[in-house]
Amino acid sequence: MRWQHEEPGEDDDGNFRIFTYRELNSATRGFHPSEKIGEGGFGSVYKGQLRDGSLVAVKVLSIELDSVKGERGFVAELNTLANVKHQNLVILRGCCVEGAHRYIVYDYMENNSLRHTFLGSEQKRMTFSWEARRDSWAAYEEKDLLRMVDPMLKMNYHMEEAKRFLMVGLCCVQETARVRPRMSEVVDMLSKNIEMEEFQVSRPGFVNDMRNARTRRQVNSSEESSASAAASFADSSGWSTSNLAR
């Protein structure tokens, strides 16, 4: 793989490209706020258009590259990501490293995104209810992971492998980004090079989001009920705010 000391362009297999900062800055109109399409635990994501007209998503990592070890780790992560190919995974186009900053470039997902899948409109949302999400976490807490497996499989799967895949998934959706595994660790997990018993999984973000949403609904409902009761009392007693001025 070519790195920042070489000329930008595609690598030997023609898939992974090293971009210059100037290219990405131009593609995102100077990382203009209107081009910002998301923000995660490790940085913001901007929509961009390359000179050839193709759309990309540029992730601006918020972690500074402050050592050679950090650069090597970054390269290793990208090597892992660039070699992962699947129809349901967004394609890694390339990266940029200039100074202490890092940028990762992906294909832009025009039709949908995970955010729309889970939080978008009813027309675009997948059938994955809050109840199903809550039950998935409950299955982990009750040490009954296989309860999460699609019943349509009718036990036609390797149980230990299913448990491993489910544990990897839970590790990757923990609310705190810094405790989620790196991609190289995920590969080791799936390759059985890491014992899953070593990992303590914390709650996924959506569990707390769901609880917060429920609390807000309860508070709003309580406030509405109080306001309604006060209005009813005022109407029945003939009392109004004008009485206070007297």
pLDDT digit string, tens, across residues 156-179: 888 988 899 899 989 888 888 788
pLDDT digit string, tens, across residues 54-108: 999 998 887 655 554 566 667 666 767 777 666 656 788 888 888 777 888 988 8
* Per-residue exposure over 153-180, b if at least 16 CB sit within 10 Å of its own CB, e if not: eeeeeeeeebebbbbbebbebbeeeeeb
* pLDDT value for 21: 92
**18 has pLDDT over 60:** yes
The residue among 113 and 201 whose pLDDT is bigger is 201
- 139 and 147 in contact (C-beta within 8 Å)? yes
The answer to whether 59 is a known ligand-binding residue is yes
Distance CA 64, CA 239 (A): 63
Q: Where are the domains of the chain?
A: 9-107, 127-198
Class of domain 9-107: alpha beta
User: What are the beta bridge partners of residue 56?
Assistant: 48, 107
pTM for the predicted model, two decimal places: 0.47
